[in-house]
Amino acid sequence: MRNYRVASLLLGGSLVFSYAPFQQAWLVLPVLFGLLLLTRKASAGMAWRIGFYFGLGWFSAGLSWIYVSIDQFGGLPVIASLAVLMVLFLYLSLFPALALFLWKYCERWFGYFAIALLPLTWLISESIRGWFLTGFPWLELGYTQTDSWIGNYAPWLGGVGVTVMLWAIAIALFVWFDRKRKEFGLIAFGLLIIPFTLPWVSTIEKTGEQARVLLVQGNIEQSIKWNPDQHWQSLMTYLDLSRPHYLSHDIIIWPESAVTMPEPYTDDVLSNIHNALVETDTTLITGIIDYQQNEYFNTMIVLGLDAPYRPVEPYTHGHTNRYQKHQLLPIGEFVPFEDLLRPLAPLFDLPMSSFSRGDYKQPNLRAKGFHLAGAICYEIAFPDQVRANVLPTTDYILTVSNDTWFGASHGPAQHMQIARMRALELGRPLLRATNNGISAVVDANGHEIARAPQFSATSLSAHVPVVTGQTAYHRYGSIGAWLIAVLIALSSILAAFRHGQARSKSVN
């Protein structure tokens, strides 16, 4: 049993190298193959334990960057910080354990054929992980293929569909190896070849139009960001980095909560900035905290031109050209059972950790005639919500963030990789502005057009093309991924019944 635990932990832990910033996308298939090999003769109970230790290695290595924020800003002793992290990792490990358990449990009816149920059981468990207790869908396997040719499945099936295809390939390779069934080797080969051809039938086309976009990265230290004495200095940092570019750009973007003083108390300053932008024919989108009717909202607002030549709706507090964050980060933006938890430690009483939710679906932001679908920080990891806000008329996906909490860890690189998957899935260029990086412009194929250096106060300029058309994933969401997983499962169940009937006849 000890050997199984160690092997499972090592397999799961090695997955961290398949994600950004390590980018070893090829590693996923050997890891999944190894997991199948480890579990092939296991009982359902043993499969649960193997999946649990696999998940423990996977999430402990992949999410170790969370310790940076807990250690620096949580106000807990080291032992307590590690305990909080371990509780999270143990919880997340339940989901791969569930997927493997369901596969092996089904063997009592379908025998060896039950292995083909694994893409479906994995999809079910991962869907629960992305929904239960508001969801934590980080480190989905599909993200590993953002730069791989296998990622070409994403515009058709989404990142979740890439996960299904990875499992289908791994299972086909395993059955070829384990049962010497050459036809499964051909299936694996076909599934690996198909994504090479998919870009040729893409429905996304450039219109010939483009926007001149400036991303501004203030590099304000998290430890002083919410200090009242820092409000105006931070604002001046962003203005100094932006004003020289007013005349030469269509859209200027500041990151999440770049304006740290709540909106009602900065209306006069924001109106002055709005007027300056109108005079220079440009638009500014900034993150800010909005306070309305005793509720705080993590918000993006638009200043300056909302239409090509003059403002249709000039800026005022409460104007409609804004986006309010819906998917809030537990502990960071809302605290469950806050009356109980807030007194326990600074971790549960962080600045600005009591937000209200915006609507799940909101109108696109309007910026000099361009339409942008918004997502603030953590929300970009929720593909269904981003998809719900991207319309056929959407020109760009816009996400603003503040990854300063995580220092030089691999967390910001993973966050950027997740954002790029949204561009690839939905066939729209993505603009990402952050406080200290990673700020970047991404094209409709998920490739970076430009990136700002991390941990520096700077601005990044890029010409960003406008595209038209809809990907299959944009039209139908994850239905394709579910259909493929179900069809694989049903074909295996049918094969199991036929095999059972054949055995019965031979016995008789």
* Active centre residues (catalytic): 256, 325, 377
Apex 378 CA angle, 377 and 381, nearest 5: 115
For residues 236 and 472, give the distance between their C-alpha atoms in angstroms, rounded to a whole number. 44
C-beta separation of 258 from 287 below 8 A? yes
Cα of first residue to Cα of last residue in the chain, in angstroms, is: 41
Count each helix (H run) and each strand (E run) in the chain, helices first: 17, 12
Residue type for 161, please?
Answer: G
Element (H, E) at 78: helix 78-105
Structure token digits, residue 283: 């638009």
Instruction: Tell me the DSSP string of 281-331.
Output: T-EEEEEEEEEETTEEEEEEEEEE-SSSSS-SS---TT-SSEEE--SPPBT
Element (H, E) at 94: helix 78-105
Structure token digits, residue 416: 């950027």
Contacts of 459 (CB under 8 A, 6+ apart): 214, 215, 216, 217, 241, 242, 245, 452
> Strand, helix or coil at 146?
coil
Q: Taking the CB of residue 104, how many other CB atoms lie within 10 A of it?
A: 25
Contacts of 80 (CB under 8 A, 6+ apart): 345
Buried b (16+ CB within 10 A) or exposed e, 259-280: bbbbbeebeeebeebbebbbee
Residue type for 441, please?
Answer: V
Residue indicated by tokens 């000890």: 2
